[in-house]
Every structure is written in C-alpha cells, then in structure tokens.
Amino acid sequence: MVKTQETLRRALHERGLRMTPQRQLVLDAVRELEHATPEQICARVQVQAPAVNITTVYRTLDLLERLGVVRHTHLGHGAPNYSVREHQHVHLVCHDCGDVAEVPTELLDDLAGSLRDRFGFRLDATHVALSGACTACAAARRTEGRTLEEADS
Amino acid sequence: MVKTQETLRRALHERGLRMTPQRQLVLDAVRELEHATPEQICARVQVQAPAVNITTVYRTLDLLERLGVVRHTHLGHGAPNYSVREHQHVHLVCHDCGDVAEVPTELLDDLAGSLRDRFGFRLDATHVALSGACTACAAARRTEGRTLEEADS
DNA sequence: TTAGGTGCAAATCGTTTGCGAGTAA
DNA sequence: TTACTCGCAAACGATTTGCACCTAA
C-alpha cells in the first residue's frame, strides 16, 4: 500500500520524473478497483478530478507498468485489465457467459516447469486468462445444440 | 480438405444458408495460411477475387466460427488469429520479441483436469496463447540485470 | 417473391500521437 | 531555463453497422 507508493515516488525520482496528483490517482484507482480497464480507471479518477483526461490515464498506466507497479492482463476480446503487481492469480474466463474466476497461480507451477525444461519458455502465469466453459455454461452446452464438428461424426 | 467443405455446405444448407464463392475462398484462405488475421485472410482472398470486401471476411469468419469450422485465438495485443478447427495446439507467445511457438495441447491435460475437478471449469486449451519469455529473451533479460522497477509487461 | 448475401460508407471502440501551454526543479 | 506533464483534438487500426442492391431458390 504505502510501500508501493513510496517505491513509485523513488522510482520516478531516480529517472527524473515527478509524482503528480494524476499518477497518484491512477495508482489508487487501479488498486481500489482490483481489475479494471483504462476506461473504468479513468471514470474512477474523474470522480475526484473530473478534468483528468483518458489520454493521461493511458500514459500513466503505461508508465506504471514499465516501472513494474501495475500489470495488465488480456481477459478476452475487449480492453485489457489492469491491477497492481502484487495482486496475482490466474484468470479463468468463460467464453460463453464472460464470467471471470480467479484461481491461485500455483496451479500452473507444474506446467511452467515443463515449459521451461522442454522449451526454455518462462511462463508468465498472470498475463493471460485461460479460456473455457464455466460450470453453468458447460452444463447448458451439453443439453443444447451441437457444433458442426460434433454433428459430422 | 474436401471433407470439411462438404460438411460446411451441408451445415449451411440445413440452416437455409448458401455456399458462396466468398465463403469458399475465406475457408480456403484460413486453411492455407494456418494462422492468420482477418486482414491477412482478406488479402489472400483478394488475390483470387479482388472485389471481396473485408466486411465480408469478418462476417464469414464469424459464421464459420459459429458453425465450428474455424476458431480464433488471441495471440497478444493485436488482431485475433484464425485457423481451421482441426489445427490444434497451444501457443507460447514471447512478450518481449513477440515470437510464437506451438506446443502440443497434451501439455495442458493435467491442468485441464485440475481445473475441471476443483473449479468445474472446462479448459479450452487452444483459444488462448500463453505469455512469457522465450529462451533468447529470458537469457537477454538476465544479463541486462533488470531491477524490479524495470520489469516490463 | 422473398430471404439471404454482398459491397460500400460511415460509425464505433480502444488507443496513440502531435502539439501547445503549464509547471516544478 | 529546461525538462517533464498534461489536456485537447485528431489520427489510427480493428471491427461493426446501416443500407441499398443483387441473386438464388
């Protein structure tokens, strides 16, 4: 919390950059909203400071990300989703209803190990959401129409 | 192959839809290109039929997807990536150099099992690319001595 | 004759860029 | 003074929509 803020201020200062109200507000919004799009973050910031432009939000998110304070995740089709860096988990996105579940990153530890050993690939478990069908939609699908592939057999 | 084409024709007919040259060409392009964005698919189609509009490509891809003939994958920030449904594997995308590797879906079998048992979530292994650092970029990063503050997305 | 299919232009969404003005060190 | 910051407008890339025309059943 405060730690990140001081870390940010120091990191900015080291690079000759300043801690501004806008940057403060954007960081606060990211932390409070937990998962939010630039649009949502902007709306939140504008509650306190209506004059802040969405361009500034984009620029600030980009900066905060380069400083390692926030990260973004692609949850699916639309806009990316920002959260503070400490807030780590794997996202499960239902491609039918769009529901997003969060599960611990440890679930990917084995996979990360295989990818590293076999392909030299360092998995970043938090950056991308896993897609599939949630319990409800998987059940619904089983009782419904089938796809072309399935009908073909 | 011919099989999919006939299957498609039948599926279309069942729904009162027609097999048109455009649809044929789009499907051919998706298959030939293996992984391609709507833009690339359109370009390919226009080699044979320059008048075909990108709008038609989008509409056709959407239709083919609903029929289960093609699928799309989000490889990262930009446009989605279409391939025929049979063409299955997991994508590993390097978030530094953008390189895309393909690995067998079996790697995710264990994970898919856990997600199903513990969360009722049916993983679709092919829809999303896994993000991380490829061998080269992981090595480069280590020698650069990046600090926490310098970590990048 | 009617539903389906297409092309074209315009709209939309998310994001970036150019630029001029403001402000802290 | 000199960077750095910001807001605003415009540009931009990807995709969608509205609409008129056209064609197969």
- Residue B90: beta bridge partners? B103
Q: Which residue on chain B is closest to A117 by alpha carbon?
A: B135
Quick check: helix, strand or coil at residue A149?
helix
Residue A144 predicted with pLDDT over 80 = no
User: pLDDT exceeding 70 applies to what percent of chain B?
Assistant: 92
Q: Which of A1-15, A29-43, B20-34 has the lowest mean pLDDT?
A: A1-15
Domain range for residue B82?
1-86
Residue A70 predicted with pLDDT over 70 = yes
Q: How far is the CA of A41 from the C1' of D2 (A)?
A: 32
- Look up the CATH number of the domain holding residue B133: 3.30.1490.190
Q: How far is the CA of B23 from the C1' of D19 (A)?
A: 22
How far off is chain B from A102, nearest CA to CA, in Å? 10
Q: Of B115, B143, B30, which is closest to residue B42 (Cα–Cα)?
A: B30
What is the number of structural domains in chain A?
2
User: pLDDT exceeding 70 applies to what percent of chain A?
Assistant: 90
- Over residues A95-104, the mean pLDDT reads 86
Distance between CA atoms of residues B18 and B52, nearest Å = 17
Q: Phi first, then psi: what are they for A100, rounded to 5°?
A: -115, 125
Q: pLDDT at position B72, please? A: 92
Distance between CA atoms of residues A38 and A54, nearest Å = 8
Q: pLDDT at position A3, please? A: 65
Mind listing the pLDDT tens digit for each residue in B62-114? Answer: 999 999 999 998 887 778 999 999 888 899 988 878 888 999 999 999 999 99
In this complex, the residue of B92, B129, B149 whose CB is nearest that of residue A115 is: B92
Query: Could you tell me if A108 lies within 8 Å of chain B, comparing CB atoms?
Result: yes
Shared domain check, B94 and B77: no
Q: Which of A11-25, A93-107, B10-24 has the lowest mean pLDDT?
A: A93-107
In this complex, the residue of A76, A118, A132 whose CB is nearest that of residue B123 is: A132
Q: pLDDT at position B126, please? A: 80
Q: pLDDT at position A2, please? A: 60
Shared domain check, A58 and A95: no
Residue A57 predicted with pLDDT over 70 = yes
All residues of chain A having their beta carbon less than 8 Å from the beta carbon of residue B76 are: 74
All residues at 6 or more sequence positions from B74 whose CB lies less than 8 Å from its CB, including other chains:
A74, A76, A77, B80, B81, B127, B128, B129
Shared domain check, B43 and B98: no
Shared domain check, A114 and A150: yes
Shared domain check, B102 and B72: no
Shared domain check, B103 and B68: no
**Final residue of a domain: which of A44, A59, A86?**
A86
**Final residue of a domain: which of A86, A101, A116?**
A86
Shared domain check, B51 and B38: yes
- Residues 60-79/A with CB within 7 Å of nucleic chain D are 60
Q: pLDDT at position B1, please? A: 53
Distance between CA atoms of residues B83 and B66, nearest Å = 13
How many Cα atoms sit within 13 Å of A125 on the Cβ side?
20
pLDDT tier for residue A128 given thresholds of 50, 70 and 90: confident
β-pairing verdict for A70-73 and A130-133: unpaired
Mind listing the pLDDT tens digit for each residue in B39-69? Answer: 999 999 999 999 999 999 999 999 999 999 9
Q: pLDDT at position B148, please? A: 36
User: For tokens 């973004």, what's the residue?
Assistant: A72
Distance between CA atoms of residues B92 and A96, nearest Å = 24
Could you give the residue ranges of the DSSP H alpha helices within A15-144?
Answer: 21-33, 38-48, 54-66, 109-119, 135-143
Residue B123, CA distances (Å) to A80, A119, A129, B74 in order: 21, 22, 11, 15
Look over chain A and give the mean of its residue pLDDT values, rounded to a whole number. 88
Distance between CA atoms of residues B42 and A148, nearest Å = 24
Query: Could you tell me if A103 lies within 8 Å of chain B, comparing CB atoms?
Result: yes
How far off is chain B from A44, nearest CA to CA, in Å? 23
Shared domain check, B136 and B101: yes
| DSSP H/E element including A71 | strand A70-73
Q: Which of A98-102, A116-120, A140-144, B73-77 has the lowest mean pLDDT?
A: A140-144
Q: Do A68 and B150 touch (CB under 8 A)?
A: yes
